[in-house]
A and B are shown apart, each in its own frame.
Chain A
Amino acid sequence: MLLVPCPNCGPRNWSDLRYGGESHARPDPATATPLQWRGYLYLRDNPAGWLRENWYCRSGCRRWFTVERNTATNEFRDPPMPGDKRGAKA
């Protein structure tokens, strides 16, 4: 089970958290065009690589936070998880 680095609670089983998906800015609702707003609602970069994403530590500190994860390997950047691929070779 993936360990997710909660900035408050430390590395936690991912099942302790809620996955919030790709982190993206909310357009200004006063000026957004339909295409911009629906881009915000529906379109995603969905890269096979580094992704900025949100998590909610629902069983711990109850804070939303943003981290970077490589979606091809599930490594987290800053801080790396101990021991696995990258941490091990560092």
Chain B
Amino acid sequence: MTGIVRRLRRRPPRYSAAALVWRGMRGDHWPRIWRDTELKRSYDAVVIGGGVHGLATAYYLARNHGITDVAVLDKAYLGSGASGRNTAIVRANYLTPEGVAFYDRSLQLYNSMALDLNINVMMSERGHLTLAHSDSSLRTMHWRAEVNKLQGVNSSVIGPDEISEIAPSLDTSSHPRYPILGALHHPPGGIVRHDAVVWGYARAADHMGVELHQKTEVLDIVCEGGEGSNGKGAGGRVVGVRTNRGDISTPIVVNCTAGWAGLISAMAGVRLPITTHPLQAAVTEPVKVFLPTVVVSGSLHVYISQTDRGELVFGAAVDPVATYSIRGSLEFTEELAGHVLELMPSVSRMRLLRQWAGLCDMTPDYSPVMGFTPVDGFLVDVGWGTYGFKAAPVSGEQMAEAVATGRTPELISPFALSRFDTGELVGEKGAASVGH
């Protein structure tokens, strides 16, 4: 990377209780959280996708590597995709050593995020229970716990009595259909306010000179020298992007989209092992807080948490049919409610308030595709399935390092696109079902 100018940092207006009181007394308004800038004709790097991954990548490019001539482009508004539609669960209790190390780093970055970014992202380290309803899923919980312990991650398998103490609303009786036989307990897991993560990265990146462009849709990626049509494809290199607001020249394009990862990559002539499926979620009306932890059941395809506002937030597995339509379905809410009541009959009278869906790019091995591609200057941070939010900080950090150094950082080397050429898939697929 040449020609990178480290820009003078603007001093951000700090957020604090004192500042709130001071501005409140004076009746002052807060300044804009990020600037509204003109789209330039050229950048050192362009990040496609203004979600948590794209914004984190831009932030770490600026903070860790001094690369600030960066534009983040989003076709709608910042956080409009999966970043604002997920159920905001974070955890590190994965199955494979490479998965555990990666998500553990992410969790560390989440824990220090409020101070790093000077915005309260409301990291709620409330613990995470993955329920087991059969001896085979209990065996998988033990497997995860053992691998976690070896990586220094706090996970253990607990029995129904301990589960009852942590979450009394769960029905741990010898239930006729899906008895709760045990759970993987992961105290460092929890939930984060997802929108605040988007805004925090955006604000911090903006302060360091990164430009954020909303309503800027990428129409094509301009390449040369590749074996495909128009110089795209393997062996080629990126020279720019075309947008609905004009053309940009740039040697680096990072695809940080979810739901549209395949379409964006196709613009550079890169084919991905991805199918796009909707993931639905729903929220109830608020009630007084009674569920102090995150509860997941892989067999029942449901995860449940209660926000500080009192709503129960539910998620499920992705819809089985590949589609870009995200209108949501009734059968999702029916199945969801049935499964929630299996676990917690007492919420039968709570009312479902809203359902929504987001798009998930599913890969064959439940692991992302990260790093370099056969097109020089075109990097991907895609294929995030249902676990993209929890990986955002570490993904941004590692992708920024890849861009800045031109080398694949070790932490993300298991997730290279080339693994689908050699058939050496990531072992997260080893567990029959993936929890959230």
Interface residues of A (CB under 8 A from B): 1-2, 14-15, 19, 21-22, 34-35, 38-39, 41-48, 51, 53, 71-74
Contact = CB atoms under 8 A, between A and B. Distances in A.
A15 B332 CA distance: 11
Contacts of A34: 421-423
B325 A74 contact: yes
B421 A74 contact: no
A51 B322 contact: yes
B151 interface: no
Given A1-B330, A21-B275, A46-B274, A38 B324 contact: no
Given A1-B331, A43-B273, A44-B274, A22 B325 contact: no
A38 B321 contact: no
A51 B263 CA distance: 14
Given A38-B420, A46-B262, A21 B322 contact: yes
Contact of A42 (B263, B329, B330, B420): B420
Interface in B304-357: 320-325, 329-331
Contact of B273 (A1, A21, A44): A44
B320 A19 contact: yes
B193 interface: no
B301 interface: no
A39 to B, nearest CB: 8
A47 to B, nearest CB: 8
Nearest to B425: A42
Interface string B245-264: 00000000000000010110
Interface of B: 260, 262-263, 271-276, 320-325, 329-331, 364, 420-423
B364 A42 contact: yes
A21 B362 CA distance: 12
A26 B90 CA distance: 39
A47 B323 CA distance: 9
A44 B322 CA distance: 11
B421 A71 contact: no
Contacts of A19: 320-322
B421 A38 contact: yes
Contacts of B273: 42-44
A9 B383 CA distance: 36
10 contacts: A21-B322, A22-B322, A38-B420, A38-B421, A38-B423, A39-B271, A42-B273, A46-B262, A46-B275, A71-B323
A53 to B, nearest CB: 8
A53 B329 CA distance: 21
A43 B374 CA distance: 15
Contacts of A43: 271-273, 420
Nearest to A69: B323
A72 B322 contact: no
Contacts of B276: 46, 48, 71
A73 B327 CA distance: 10
A19 B375 CA distance: 33
Contact of A71 (B324, B331, B420): B324
A4 to B, nearest CB: 9
Given A38-B423, A42-B420, A14 B262 contact: no
A31 B300 CA distance: 42
A22 B262 CA distance: 14
A48 B323 CA distance: 8
A13 to B, nearest CB: 8
Contacts of B330: 1
A73 B271 CA distance: 23
B263 A48 contact: yes
A39 B421 CA distance: 8
A71 B325 contact: yes
Contacts of A35: 421
B364 A41 contact: yes
A45 B262 CA distance: 8
Contacts of B260: 48
Contacts of A47: 263
Nearest to B319: A19
Given A1-B331, A46-B262, A72 B325 contact: yes
A14 B263 CA distance: 26
Contacts of B364: 41-42
A38 B323 CA distance: 23
A42 B367 CA distance: 13
B267 to A, nearest CB: 13
Nearest to A42: B273
A77 to B, nearest CB: 15
A39 B422 CA distance: 11
A53 B260 CA distance: 19
Given A41-B364, A48-B324, 16 more contacts: A2-B321, A38-B422, A39-B271, A42-B420, A43-B272, A43-B420, A44-B273, A44-B274, A44-B275, A46-B272, A46-B275, A47-B263, A48-B263, A51-B322, A71-B325, A72-B324
